[in-house]
């Protein structure tokens, strides 16, 4: 984490800002150029890493970066978190997509957000990152850092599978159905929410276990501590059974594979300003209304 952002109100002259995004998203290339001009006008040191726009795209040394501005949607932020790996810098997400729980700022609000940063009117909120490893024949064959979720999917021929959950080495339960989502709180509004899982405040340290179309109604979503280590075993996977991390296939599963999930040491860090709090984002993105006035009678 950048000590300069945390220790005092940052001066633009002190800050190195990296602008990232994908040129495949409409308007991102143009927006990145305009944003870098704005940053340079305000005396920030700006590095444009948007795909195809800068030679810095191939430079994955994030240790000197104080702030990352991600242009795109939540998918772009997930890719950026994985790309930064164990050297996480604070992220300000600019929503160039549709829903955007993580990319909270529309482009028109970026100048105000930068003013808030310069004036120290912001907070850095840390979020859980996890490590997912696939163990086969006693060896780790695949591993990945994730932000949203690990999912085991039954896959073709689309028959139900059993998933045995162990917590700190103790057998907890067996899920029978189409799969299982192991979500972080920040991922609780993603695939987990679509599958009927709970919304969990995103700065909590916990994992959410949400079964996909469980065979028994007693298999309900469960929330447990992130301080524990979780192991998922699929004794008889389908030919198409896979382990997916943040929407990217990590590996196909074979009998005896163990999927291990645990909290990672680094944290994912989001920049929030006074104008963009947690519940405002939920209200706007989920269409939460609610009128306390009720008709009489």
Catalytic residue positions, numbered: 74
Through-space distance between the first and last CA atoms of the chain, rounded to whole angstroms = 56
Angstrom distance (rounded) from CA 178 to CA 163: 10
| Bridge partner residues of 271 (DSSP) | 124
Angstrom distance (rounded) from CA 263 to CA 205: 9
Alpha carbon separation from 237 to 141, 159, 232, 258, 290 (Å, rounded): 17, 9, 12, 12, 44
Angstrom distance (rounded) from CA 167 to CA 261: 10
- Helices 28-41 and 110-118: crossing angle in degrees, nearest 10, is 30
Pairing of strands 122-136, 139-146: antiparallel
- Give buried/exposed letters for 191-214 (b at 16+ CB in 10 A, else e): bbbebebeebebebebbbbbbbeb
Closest CA to 167 of 275, 262, 279, 235: 262
């Amino acid at each position: 984490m950048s000590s300069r952002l945390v220790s005092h109100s940052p001066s633009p002259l002190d800050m190195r800002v990296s602008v990232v995004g994908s040129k495949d998203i409409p308007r991102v290339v143009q927006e990145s150029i305009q944003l870098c001009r704005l940053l340079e006008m305000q005396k920030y040191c700006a590095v444009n890493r948007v795909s195809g726009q800068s030679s810095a795209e191939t430079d994955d040394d994030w240790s000197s970066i104080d702030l990352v501005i991600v242009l795109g949607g939540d998918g772009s932020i997930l890719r950026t978190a994985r790309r930064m790996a164990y050297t996480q810098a604070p992220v300000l997400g600019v929503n160039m997509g549709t829903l955007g729980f993580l990319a909270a700022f529309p482009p028109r609000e970026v100048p105000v957000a930068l003013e808030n940063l310069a004036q120290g009117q912001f907070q850095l909120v840390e979020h859980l990152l996890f490590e997912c490893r696939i163990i086969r024949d006693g060896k780790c064959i695949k591993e990945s850092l994730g932000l949203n979720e690990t999912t085991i999917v039954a896959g073709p021929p689309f028959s139900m599978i059993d998933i045995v959950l162990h917590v700190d080495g103790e057998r907890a339960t067996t899920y029978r159905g189409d799969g299982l989502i192991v979500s972080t709180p920040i991922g609780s509004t993603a695939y987990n929410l679509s599958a009927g899982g709970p919304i969990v405040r995103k700065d909590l340290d916990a994992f959410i276990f949400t079964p996909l179309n469980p065979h028994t109604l007693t298999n309900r979503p469960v929330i447990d501590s992130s301080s524990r280590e979780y192991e998922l075993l699929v004794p008889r996977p389908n030919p198409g059974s896979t382990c997916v991390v943040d929407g990217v296939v990590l590996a196909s599963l074979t009998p005896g594979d163990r999927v291990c999930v645990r909290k990672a040491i680094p944290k994912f860090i989001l920049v929030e300003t006074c104008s963009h709090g947690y519940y405002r984002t939920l209200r706007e993105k989920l269409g939460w209304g609610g009128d306390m006035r009720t008709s009489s009678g």
